[in-house]
Structure 1
Amino acid sequence: MDDVDVVLPCLDEAAALPGVLAAMPRGYRPLVVDNGSVDGSPGVARAHGAVVVRESQRGYGAAVHAGLMAASAEFVCFLDCDGSLDPGVLPVLVALVRRGQADLAVGRRVPVSAAAWPWHARAGNAVLAGLLRRRGLPVHDIAPIRAARRTDLLRLGIVDRAFGYPLELLCKAAEANWRVHELDVEYRPRAAGTRSKISGSVRGTARAVRDMAGVLW
């Protein structure tokens, strides 16, 4: 397929990028959105066939939105580029949207080990997902991997440019009565030499939960 772009928000992921990009499904165009890396990530991404998009405004949402604006394919996927998620599952998510079974297909992380997902990150995620279910959205994760049509995503008008972006996406999808399909995906430890900006510390998790709670309130 040549109608799928994959947005990969990136901040110092040089160690993980070769493996992630090598696992990209054939025909899926990777857009690595560099958010101020100092480890040579842009050069590594280009060397492994990715298109590099620069976004100077720091923040997960800023990087993701820049990638969405740079995308031109009918379908757009979003994927962390730290090696914790397998790009090979993206065609399964896209197929759900392509066949009309979902407006948004998302991954529910199933950790392969306790080390893959720290307790504080799992706890914060569980609280937020529970609040979403109370709003009628049948999800158990805040969708670190997802797929939808580009035009549909743009119409949602997501404004958060920090860690609250994925939660705002889900909230607005619920308000728009989107059909959201959640699929279990394997969640692995990050690639060696990389560190999570969110789940790598209790402080990072707390900051993310704060941003996301702001979206809910």
Structure 2
Amino acid sequence: MSISNLFVEILLPGLIDTLYMVILSTLFAVIIGFIPAIVLVITDEKGLKPNKTVNRSLDFVINLLRSFPFIILMIAIIPFTRLLVGTSIGRNAAIVPLTIGAAPFAARVIESALKEVDPGIIEAAKSFGASTSQIIFKVMLKEALPSIVLGITLTVISVIGYSAMAGTIGAGGLGDIAVRYGYQRFKTDIMIYTIIILIIIVQVLQSLGNYAYKKLSK
């Protein structure tokens, strides 16, 4: 099989599946991660509404979810995945564990970005009578946006790695191709091609993230 046919018939469908899983699960993870990130920042001892109980409880839950190896997480939530999408196999099923695995990571990077905001800017907003919601959405998020973009870039790259692992249990994508063709059928060339494609994706995403960061930082 020529390289062009190999790409069109095998690698391209895998690439599309990988991008499908990565884009949707990252989107859901960031949306879900925003909520605990904001709550953690607000309830921190130096936050707008300090609350040690809420902060420590949420912090524990996020750390607990982050401590699960992804391969174990995928298997552990199979009943939940089947309940949501009706199956535990395929790219749609993979989005569930990918989202759950990435959401705590997204929450942490967003939390870190928000905590980097200059306290002086927040105090200035308070002095002008800004409400808590105004400070969060019009001051903190705006100031932290460049760092949040970098954090989301890291999240996407992490999800790409997770998606490759998801392929080992029938989720499809480049990971599935690497296992079925590169490992089980001893086709080293296909294994190498999948690795090259993944490297290119990561490099492109990191470059785009760095570019966006520089643009937003100006």
Asked if these proteins are the same fold (TM beyond 0.5), I'd say no
TM-score tier, shorter chain, comes to under 0.3
Q: Structure 2-normalised TM-score?
A: 0.24
Rg comparison, structure with higher value = 2
From the two aligned structures, give the one with the greater strand fraction.
1
Q: Structure 1-normalised TM-score?
A: 0.24
